[in-house]
Each structure stands twice: as C-alpha cells, then as structure tokens.
Amino acid sequence: MEKINFQNGITPLNDTNLNQIQDNVENAIEEKHIYSTEEQVIGTWINGKPLYRKVIEGISINDNTATIIPTNIANAKIVSINGVIKANTDSDFYAVPYIVEEKYLYVNTCDNGTNLRIRTNDEWEGFSLTVILEYTKTTD
C-alpha cells in the first residue's frame, strides 16, 4: 500500500492522489475477504489480537452420530463458526446449523478448538460439509 504524503495538513486533490486513495481502500478491503484452507490473518479482534480465518471443506457427514474432525489449529479461541451442507448430487446448499422438524446437523468445537464435533441425528449420506472458522490465538 502506497502512502500519500500530507503537506501542511493539505493534500492536493488530483487524479493521481484520488486514484491512489481508491487503490489503497480497495486493497485493504480485499485483504480482509480472503477465504483459504490455510490459516489467514484477516483483521484484529475486539481485544486487539489478530483475527484468523480457516476453511475446512469436503467433510463427509456420518449418519446419526458425532464425528470428530481435526482443525489443525493450535491455541485457538473460536469467535465464529459458519458452515454449509451440500448434497453431492445437486447444487442445493443448506446453512449450518440445519434444524428442520426432527432432523438436525450442527457443528461445535472441542478440545480447545483443535477439533470440530459434527452432530447429526438422521441420514446424511451423499452430503458434504464446509466449515469456516474465525478465531484468535491464546498465544498472541
């Protein structure tokens, strides 16, 4: 990001400076909207610590059980869990948690964020799950 030098509290409004300001704002916004299967720093949490994001995708869902999936994240303090379920045979997506009448699927963390626990009570064969975790670290 290029810095624009202010002189005497005044910056001339010319096309070069305005374009640079626009580029700086667009770049800052893009940096915060990174989704990756690798850990990414996406900002700062309310306590001043770095905020991280990681996507875990392609999780097979087991029927009527609790499944443990490693996050491969050490020292995490989870602040947000989002997810979607997708049927492998169509393009429909379902938000997590999914609760309709007696059928449910939800995700929580366990073991200090090092694992995800996926709980279901019905048949989910042929579906996969993608989870987006946002977290800070206790070591930061």
**What would the two tokens of residue 129 be?**
């799950």
Query: What tens digit of pLDDT does each residue of 100-115 get?
Result: 888 888 898 888 888 9
Tell me, yes or no, whether 12 and 81 share the same domain: no
Query: What tens digit of pLDDT does each residue of 59-106 get?
Result: 888 888 888 999 999 889 999 999 999 988 877 888 999 898 888 888
The residue segments making up the domain with residue 56 are 40-137
**What whole-number distance in Å separates Cα of residue 13 and Cα of residue 127?**
54
Maximum CA pair distance of the chain? Answer: 68
More confident residue, 58 or 14: 58
**H helices of 75-138, where?**
none
What integer pLDDT is reported at residue 5 of this predicted model?
61
**What would the two tokens of residue 89 be?**
């045979």
More confident residue, 31 or 43: 43
Tell me, yes or no, whether 44 and 102 share the same domain: yes
Count the alpha carbons within 13 Å of 121 in the hemisphere toward its beta carbon.
9
